[in-house]
């Protein structure tokens, strides 16, 4: 067999093994309190589940690689499509994306194997996650990760253990630092090298560093 063909066969074999060993996800849907129907990819892998809320040009599938990393670390994942994305449909309330996250929390609270719920929101999804935190009940969200989030009007009302992540040179960095100052403790701000925004950081040389920061924060007691 020619060397190039051997290489292709080896790559195919490794990829096949990787796909075979990947944990399957469940496609689920739930209703929000304003009548939206939200679809999600659910990767069960432990009693601590992380809701992933995507940015404006992304969708629930954009979290695939991070989802696998989180499940490999014993964390379950619940990646949602916001209303108007994929099969998810709008409800009665305008600007109601935060209700999609609250609906996900309500759904997960009915699952017998889930004891802890955290939320990671990026850019648009970060703003929605922050607003969901403000409107949530105390204790609903254990840890909140805001990845280059869009600002909210009252960050002083955020709840939970909060991690802000931002690229040092991105255009929104100054605004995020101002939001961070107003956010109550416990809180952490991590600045990453570069100028990439939110989920775009996963496309850069900082991807592994970003993933480690997220996993370490979520697993820390």
- Write the CATH number for 101: 3.40.50.1820
Query: Tokens 């990767």 — which residue?
Result: 43
Q: Quick check: is 119 in a domain?
A: yes
Per-residue pLDDT tens digits for 30-75? 999 999 999 999 999 999 999 999 999 999 999 999 999 999 999 9
* Best CA proximity match to 69, nearest among 217, 220, 211, 213: 211
Per-residue pLDDT tens digits for 137-191? 999 999 999 999 999 999 999 999 999 999 999 999 999 999 999 999 999 999 9
Q: Quick check: is 134 in a domain?
A: yes
Mean pLDDT, residues 13-34: 69
Count structural domains, the chain: 1
Q: Of residues 167 and 22, which shows the higher confidence score?
A: 167
Q: Quick check: is 1 in a domain?
A: no
Mean pLDDT, residues 105-121: 97
pLDDT at 23: 61
Q: Quick check: is 7 in a domain?
A: no
* Average pLDDT score over the chain: 92
pLDDT at 22: 57
Look at strands 143-147 and 116-122 and give their pairing: parallel
Query: Which residues are registered as beta bridge partners of 128?
Result: none
Per-residue pLDDT tens digits for 83-97? 999 999 999 999 999
Neighbour count for residue 13 (Cβ, 10 Å): 10
Q: Quick check: is 11 in a domain?
A: no
The boundaries of the domain holding residue 107 are 28-219
Neighbour count for residue 206 (Cβ, 10 Å): 16
Mean pLDDT, residues 204-213: 98
Q: Quick check: is 6 in a domain?
A: no
pLDDT of 10 > 90? The answer is no
Q: Quick check: is 104 in a domain?
A: yes
Q: Quick check: is 112 in a domain?
A: yes
């Amino acid at each position: 067999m020619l060397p190039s063909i051997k290489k292709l066969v080896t790559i195919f074999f490794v990829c096949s093994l990787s796909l075979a060993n990947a944990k399957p996800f469940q496609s689920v849907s739930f209703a929000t309190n304003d009548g939206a129907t939200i679809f999600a990819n659910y990767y069960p892998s432990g009693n601590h589940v992380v809701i992933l809320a995507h940015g404006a040009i992304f969708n629930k599938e954009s979290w695939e690689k991070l989802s696998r990393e989180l499940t490999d670390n014993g964390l379950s994942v619940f990646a949602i499509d916001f209303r108007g994305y994929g099969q998810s449909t709008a409800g009665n309330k305008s600007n109601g994306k935060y209700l999609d996250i609250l609906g996900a929390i309500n759904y997960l609270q009915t699952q017998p194997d889930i004891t802890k719920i955290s939320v990671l929101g990026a850019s648009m999804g970060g703003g929605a996650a922050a607003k969901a935190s403000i409107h949530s009940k105390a204790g609903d969200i254990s840890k909140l990760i805001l990845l280059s989030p869009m600002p909210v009007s009252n960050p002083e009302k955020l709840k939970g253990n909060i991690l802000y992540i931002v690229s040092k040179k991105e255009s929104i960095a100054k605004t995020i630092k101002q939001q961070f100052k107003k956010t109550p403790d416990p809180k952490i701000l991590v600045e990453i090298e570069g100028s990439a925004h939110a989920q775009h950081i996963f496309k850069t040389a900082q991807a592994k560093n970003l993933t480690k920061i997220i996993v370490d924060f979520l697993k820390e007691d």
